[in-house]
A and B are shown apart, each in its own frame.
Chain A
Amino acid sequence: MNSATGESPPDDLPEWMARYQAGDEAAFEEIYGRLARSVRGYLRTIAPPRADVEDLVQNTFLQIHRSRQSYLPGEPVRPWIFSIARHVGLMALRSIGRRGRREVQPFDELPEVPVLARAAGTLDRIALGRALATLGESGREAVWLHHVEGFSFREIAAVQGISETAAKVRAHRAIVALRGEFAEAGG
C-alpha cells in the first residue's frame, strides 16, 4: 500500500509471470525477490515445527518453476503461488508427522506491513507469535493471509480450497480467539 496516497501499487505480477513463462530469467528473480519473504512467513504458519523452512521455500519455488505452464495468463499470481506453497507445507507436515502440532515455527520475521502497524505499537512480536501459535492451523493461516499478507477472502478461499464465506468465518473465529488470548494475558 502506498502510504502517501493510501492506494495499493498496481499488481504487475501477471506481466512478470508472462515474461517468466516466455523464458526470461530476470522475471523469475523479480518474482522470487518480491514474494520469497511472504512465502517464508506463510510457510511458518503451516509447516511442522521441525521443518527447515528455507528448504520449503526453495522447494516451493522449484515447484513453481517446474509447473510454470500451469499459471493461466491474467489470473492473480499470489493465489497460484501460495496454493503451491501450501501444498509444499502440507506435504512436509505429512512426511514429518504431526508431532507437536500445536508448536509453530518461530515468528521471527513478522513483516512490517501497514495492516499490522497498530498491532505493532501495542504488542511485541514474541507475544503476537505466541498468540498465533495458540490458533488452529486453518485459523492461523487465514489470519496470516488476510491480516499480514493483505489477501482478500476470495484469494484466501482460492488458496485453501474453500468458499469465501468459510474463509471469512475462519478468520473471524481466529481473531476472536486471538482477542481472548490477549485478554487473558493482559488480565
Chain B
Amino acid sequence: MTVPGQRREPVPSALRDAVKLDFAPVVALAPPWRRAFALALPTLIVLSAAILLLTRQSGVANLFALAGGGVSVLEWLAGLGLVWLALREAVPGLGVGAARSMLALAGGVGLQVALGLLIWQRTGAGISGPGALAAGAQCATIEGAIGLPHLAIAIWLALRALPIRPRWSGALAGAAAGLLADAVWHLACQRNDLEHLLVGHFGATVAMTLLGAFAGSFWNRRPSSI
C-alpha cells in the first residue's frame, strides 16, 4: 500500500521497453456470466425447439416418458452454472478456489447421476438389455460430438483471460460441456436402463471433465504461461 508522502517508484527501463512493444488499446472481457450465457445459448435454443416439438407431437403428459424435458432443463441450468464458474475461475481475483470448484463439480455430475437414477426408477426399465454396450458407445460418441465444441470454446474463453488454476477451469468447463450435451441428447435417446444412462451418458460427462482438466494441466505446463 502506498501511503501519502511516500515516493512512487518509477517503472524500470527494461520493463518499460518490454511493455512498449504492445501498448494497443484492449477491450475488457465481458463478465463471466455473459460469456457463459452466450456459450450455452445455442444449446438452449435447440433444447427449447426439441421440447416444443415433443410436446406438440405427444402432449405435455408424455414429456417424462420422452426422456424428460424437465431433466434437460435442469441439466442445462447446471451446465450454465459450471461454465460460469469455469470462466470466473479464469479471471484473476474472481476465482472460487479449488475446494468450491470441487464442490461444484461434484454437484454437477452428481445431479446427472441423480436424474439418471430417477428416470431409471420412474420408467421401470431393466438393468440392461441386448446391445447395451453398442447403444452406450453410440450415445457417448454423440454426446462427445455435441460437447466437444462447447468444451473447446469454453477453454478458449477461459484462456483469453488468465487462468490461475487452469486445471480447475478446464475440469469445470468439461463437466459443463458434458451436461449441456446431455441436456440436448437426452431428449432424443429412448433408452432408460441404468447401465446405459451411467455408461453412455454419465460416462461422456466424466470423460469430458477429465479431458478439460488435462487441457488445463497442459496449459499450466506451457513455458509461456506464468
Contacts and interface: CB of A to CB of B under 8 A. Distances in A.
Interface of A: 1-3, 9, 21-23, 25, 28-30, 32-38, 58-59, 61-63, 65-73, 75-76, 79-84, 86-88, 91, 111-114, 148-150, 157-163
B4 A9 contact: yes
B61 interface: no
A32 B9 CA distance: 7
A84 B97 contact: no
B95 interface: yes
A21 to B, nearest CB: 5
Given A21-B25, A32-B9, A84 B162 contact: yes
Contacts of A87: 92, 164, 226
Contact of B19 (A28, A67, A82, A160): A28
Contacts of A82: 93
Given A21-B25, A34-B8, A161-B165, A58 B3 contact: no
Nearest to A59: B226
A162 B97 contact: yes
Interface in B92-142: 92-100
Interface secondary structure of B, over-half rule: loop
Contacts of B10: 29, 33
Interface secondary structure of A, over-half rule: helix
B93 A79 contact: yes
Nearest to B26: A69
| Range, interface on chain B | 35 or more
Contacts of B18: 62, 65
B97 A161 contact: yes
A21 B20 contact: no
B59 interface: no
B26 A68 contact: yes
Nearest to B11: A32
Contact of A112 (B3, B22, B25, B91): B3
Most chain B beta-carbon contacts within 10 A, residue among A2, A38, A68: A68
B14 A161 contact: no
B24 to A, nearest CB: 6
B38 interface: no
B2 interface: yes
Given A58-B14, A72-B91, A158-B95, A34 B26 contact: no
Interface stretch (B27-35, B144-152, B181-189): B27-35
